[in-house]
A and B are shown apart, each in its own frame.
Chain A
Amino acid sequence: MVSTNGRTLQYREALREAMEEEMRIDERIFLMGEEVGEYNGAYKVSQGMLEEFGPRRIVDSPISETGFGGLGVGAAMYGLRPIIEFMSWSFCLVAADQIINNAPKMLYMSGGQFGCPAVFRGNNGAGGQLGSTHSWVVESLFSHVPGLKLAVPSTPRDAKGLLKAGIRDPDPFFNLESERMLGMGLHGDKDYSRYQHANKWAPPENDKDFIIELCKADIKKPGTDCTIVTDGRPVHFALEAAEALEEEGIDVEVVDVRTYRPLDIETIAGSVRRTGYAVVVDQSWPFASVGAEVASQIYEHCFDDLDNQVLRVHNDDIPAPYSRQREQDMLPNAKKIVDAVRSVTYNA
Chain B
Amino acid sequence: MTATNASPSDVSNNSRPSDKLSDDQLVKMLYDMMLIRRFEEKTMQAYQQAKIGGFCHIYIGQEASAVGSISALKDDDPIVGAYRDHGFALARGMHPNYCMAEMYGKITGCAKGKGGSMHMFDRDRHMYGGHAIVGGQCPLGTGLGFSIQYEEKDNVALCYLGDGALNQGGFFESMNLAAIWNLPVIFVLENNNYSMGTHIARGTAMANDLSAKAQAFGMRYAECDGLDVLDVYNTFSDQVAMTRNAKNPQWERGNWDEIEYSREGSNPGPAFVNVKTYRYQGHSMSDPQKYRSKDEVGEYKERDPINILVNHLIEAGKATQDQCHELDSKAKQVSKDAITFAEESPDMPTEEMFTDVYANPFGPYIKGGLPNIITNENSGE
Q: A114–B375 Cα gap in the complex (Å)?
A: 7
For chain B residues 96-133, which have a beta carbon within 8 Å of chain A?
A: 109-115, 119, 121-123, 128-129, 131, 133
A67 engages B133 (CB within 8 Å): no
B360 engages A169 (CB within 8 Å): yes
From residue B181, how far is it (CB to closest CB) to chain A in Å?
A: 8
B356 engages A107 (CB within 8 Å): yes
Q: Which residues of B contact A94 (CB under 8 A)?
A: 169
Q: Which residue of B lies closest to A261 (CB)?
A: B358
From residue A33, how far is it (CB to closest CB) to chain B in Å?
A: 13
Interface footprint category on B? 35 or more
Q: A170–B358 Cα gap in the complex (Å)?
A: 8
Q: Let me know if B355 is at the binding interface, CB within 8 A.
A: yes
**For chains A and B in complex, what number of residue pairs have CB atoms within 8 angstroms?**
204
Beyond A75-B144, A109-B114, A213-B365, whether A115 also contacts B375 by CB under 8 A is yes
Q: Which residues of A contact B355 (CB under 8 A)?
A: 112
Please encode chain A, from 67 to 87, with 1 for each CB lying within 8 Å of some chain B CB and 0 for all others. 111111111111111100000
Pick the contact of B139: A74, A106, A113 (CB < 8 A). A74
Which of A68, A97, A113, A169 lies at the interface centre, i.e. has the most chain B CB atoms within 10 A of its CB? A113
Instruction: State the majority secondary structure of interface residues on A.
Output: mixed
Q: Which residues of A contact B111 (CB under 8 A)?
A: 109-111, 113
A110 engages B129 (CB within 8 Å): yes
Beyond A55-B250, A108-B357, whether A75 also contacts B115 by CB under 8 A is no
A213 engages B364 (CB within 8 Å): yes
From residue A248, how far is it (CB to closest CB) to chain B in Å?
A: 39
Q: Let me know if A128 is at the binding interface, CB within 8 A.
A: no
B359 engages A101 (CB within 8 Å): no
Q: Which residues of B contact A30 (CB under 8 A)?
A: 150
From residue A215, how far is it (CB to closest CB) to chain B in Å?
A: 5
For chain A residues 203-252, which have a beta carbon within 8 Å of chain B?
A: 208-209, 211, 213-215
Q: A348–B368 Cα gap in the complex (Å)?
A: 50
Beyond A74-B142, A215-B362, whether A112 also contacts B133 by CB under 8 A is no
B365 engages A98 (CB within 8 Å): no
For chain B residues 171-186, which have a beta carbon within 8 Å of chain A?
A: 173-174, 176-177, 180-181
A107 engages B375 (CB within 8 Å): yes
Q: Chain A: how many interface residues by the 8 Å CB criterion?
A: 61
Please encode chain B, from 42 to 85, with 1 for each CB lying within 8 Å of some chain A CB and 0 for all others. 00000000000000000000000000000000000010100000
B139 engages A26 (CB within 8 Å): no
Q: Which residues of B contact A59 (CB under 8 A)?
A: 181
A168 engages B138 (CB within 8 Å): no
B143 engages A115 (CB within 8 Å): no
Q: Let me know if A25 is at the binding interface, CB within 8 A.
A: yes
Name 10 A/B residue pairs within 8 A (Cβ), A-sorted: A38-B253, A67-B170, A75-B150, A102-B131, A107-B358, A112-B355, A113-B123, A113-B379, A117-B359, A146-B357
Which of B136, B173, B363 lies at the interface centre, i.e. has the most chain A CB atoms within 10 A of its CB? B173
Q: A322–B150 Cα gap in the complex (Å)?
A: 43
B176 engages A171 (CB within 8 Å): no
B356 engages A112 (CB within 8 Å): yes
Q: Which residue of B lies closest to A64 (CB)?
A: B173
A115 engages B363 (CB within 8 Å): no
From residue A119, how far is it (CB to closest CB) to chain B in Å?
A: 12
Pick the contact of B378: A68, A102, A115 (CB < 8 A). A115
Q: Which residues of B contact A38 (CB under 8 A)?
A: 253
B169 engages A66 (CB within 8 Å): yes
Instruction: State the majority secondary structure of interface residues on B.
Output: loop
Q: Which residues of B contact A270 (CB under 8 A)?
A: none
B119 engages A170 (CB within 8 Å): no
B379 engages A112 (CB within 8 Å): yes
Pick the contact of A26: B169, B359, B371 (CB < 8 A). B371
Q: Which residues of A contact B366 (CB under 8 A)?
A: 168
Q: Let me know if B222 is at the binding interface, CB within 8 A.
A: no
B→A interface (CB under 8 Å): 78, 80, 109-115, 119, 121-123, 128-129, 131, 133, 136, 138-144, 146-148, 150-151, 169-170, 173-174, 176-177, 180-181, 248, 250-253, 355-371, 373-376, 378-381
Pick the contact of A74: B143, B251, B253, B358 (CB < 8 A). B143
Beyond A67-B177, A71-B142, A101-B136, whether A114 also contacts B365 by CB under 8 A is no
A→B interface (CB under 8 Å): 25-26, 30, 38, 54-56, 59-62, 64, 66-82, 94, 97-98, 101-102, 106-117, 146-147, 149, 165, 168-171, 208-209, 211, 213-215, 262
Q: Which residue of A lies closest to B148 (CB)?
A: A78
- Contacts A30-B150, A78-B144 known; list 10 others, CB within 8 Å: A67-B139, A68-B139, A71-B140, A77-B128, A77-B144, A94-B169, A111-B110, A111-B111, A113-B122, A208-B368
B136 engages A97 (CB within 8 Å): yes
Q: A117–B375 Cα gap in the complex (Å)?
A: 8
B136 engages A111 (CB within 8 Å): no
Q: Which residues of B contact A80 (CB under 8 A)?
A: 147, 150-151
A111 engages B121 (CB within 8 Å): yes
Beyond A79-B147, A117-B373, A213-B365, whether A111 also contacts B139 by CB under 8 A is no
Q: Which residue of A lies closest to B142 (CB)?
A: A71
Q: Which residues of A contact B176 (CB under 8 A)?
A: 62, 64, 67
Q: Which residues of B contact A211 (CB under 8 A)?
A: 365, 367
From residue A264, how far is it (CB to closest CB) to chain B in Å?
A: 10
Which of A26, A59, A60 lies at the interface centre, i.e. has the most chain B CB atoms within 10 A of its CB? A59
Q: Which residues of B contact A147 (CB under 8 A)?
A: 357-358
A112 engages B177 (CB within 8 Å): no
Q: Which residue of B lies closest to A81 (CB)?
A: B373
Beyond A75-B147, A211-B367, whether A113 also contacts B121 by CB under 8 A is yes
B128 engages A215 (CB within 8 Å): no
Pick the contact of B363: A71, A113, A215 (CB < 8 A). A215
Q: Which residue of A lies closest to B120 (CB)?
A: A110
Q: Which residues of A contact B360 (CB under 8 A)?
A: 169-171
From residue B291, how far is it (CB to closest CB) to chain A in Å?
A: 27
Q: What are the nearest 10 A-B pairs in CB distance?
A: A74-B143, A70-B139, A115-B375, A67-B173, A112-B379, A111-B111, A110-B121, A74-B140, A111-B112, A78-B147
